């Protein structure tokens, strides 16, 4: 029993001694300790904050723009064209295929952009990348549509006319989108990459909702070219 009490007393003394030494070291190096703790806190905060920002940007995959794409796709699917008051099956099918190529390219283009935004350095580069993305989308769906029409037996000139006519009808919308994107990035209301991309997706959603109107107008301007063609 005496040994137990003796050992317990020794342990208490050691603990007290270690506490005194630790307190002395902390006092002597308190500035360094405070700085180290601050660095650790900042590092943890930066990691957590960065992860939160990255997750917010990736959450834009759930943006309503992708829902608008599917709504417009369904609307286009049920669009019918008539030539001389008779149903024009070829033009109607061509229209649906054309719109699907366009909508697929938009979904893919902006989906890829969302994935890449976290690695884009700043807002200036993001604005440039949005412009590049829009250009790639137009190039992709127009070329895919042309090749598809050629393979379906549409004469090259007529296929090119269909694509070019649609692009002319969309020109005002495209220019309006480009203008709004410029305004978004030059305003003080959108500071982060997330805020800028979110605002751009809203503008793109509006432009997508106008696709059926522009598409119908363009295809109505093409009178009788496809009525007697097998598609």
Residues in the chain: 231
What's the pLDDT score for residue 4? 44
Half-sphere exposure of 29 (CA within 13 A, CB side): 8
Cα torsion angle, 58, 64, 65, 71, sign: positive
Assess contact for 187 and 169: CB atoms under 8 A. no
Residue, of 183 and 227, whose pLDDT is higher: 183
Q: Tell me how far apart the 2 most distant CA atoms of the chain are, in Å.
A: 115
Structure tokens at 74: 């369904």
Assess contact for 76 and 35: CB atoms under 8 A. no
Helix (H, G, I), strand (E, B) or coil at 188: coil
**Rounded mean pLDDT of 162-180?**
93
Burial of 16 (0-12, 13-18, 19+ CB in 10 A): exposed
Measured CA distances, 97 to 21, 34, 146, 213, 222 (Å): 79, 65, 11, 16, 16
Whether residue 72 has pLDDT greater than 90: yes
CA distance 19 to 205: 64
What's the pLDDT score for residue 5? 44
Reported confidence tier of residue 8, pLDDT bands at 50, 70, 90:
very low
Whether residue 206 has pLDDT greater than 90: yes
What's the pLDDT score for residue 221? 85
% of the chain exceeding 90 in pLDDT: 58
Give the number of other Cβ atoms within 10 Å of residue 197's Cβ: 25
**Rounded mean pLDDT of 115-138?**
95
CA distance 210 to 169: 11
**Rounded mean pLDDT of 125-138?**
96
Look at the pTM and tell me if it is higher than 0.85.
no
Bridge partners of 83, per DSSP, are 86
CA distance 156 to 161: 8
What's the pLDDT score for residue 22? 63
Helix segments in 29-63, DSSP class H? 30-58
Cα torsion angle, 205, 207, 210, 215, sign: negative
């Amino acid at each position: 029993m005496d040994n137990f009490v003796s050992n317990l007393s020794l342990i208490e003394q050691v603990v007290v001694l270690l506490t005194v030494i630790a307190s002395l070291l902390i006092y002597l190096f308190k500035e360094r300790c405070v700085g180290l703790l601050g660095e650790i806190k900042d590092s943890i905060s930066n990691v957590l904050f960065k992860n939160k920002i990255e997750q917010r940007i990736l959450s834009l995959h759930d943006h309503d723009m992708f829902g608008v794409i599917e709504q417009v796709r369904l609307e286009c699917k049920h669009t019918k064209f008539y030539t001389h008051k008779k149903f024009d099956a070829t033009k109607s099918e061509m229209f649906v295929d054309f719109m699907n190529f366009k909508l697929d390219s938009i979904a893919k283009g902006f989906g890829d952009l969302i994935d890449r935004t976290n690695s884009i350095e700043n807002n200036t580069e993001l604005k440039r990348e949005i412009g590049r993305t829009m250009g790639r989308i137009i190039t992709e769906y127009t070329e895919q549509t042309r090749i598809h029409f050629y393979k379906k037996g549409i004469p090259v000139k007529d296929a090119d006319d269909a694509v070019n006519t649609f692009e002319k009808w969309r020109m005002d919308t495209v220019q309006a989108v480009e203008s709004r994107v410029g305004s978004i990035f030059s305003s003080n209301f959108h500071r982060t990459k997330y805020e800028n991309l979110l605002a751009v997706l809203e503008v793109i959603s509006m432009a997508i909702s106008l696709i059926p109107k522009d598409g119908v107008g363009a295809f109505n301007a093409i009178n009788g070219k496809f009525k007697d063609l097998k598609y």
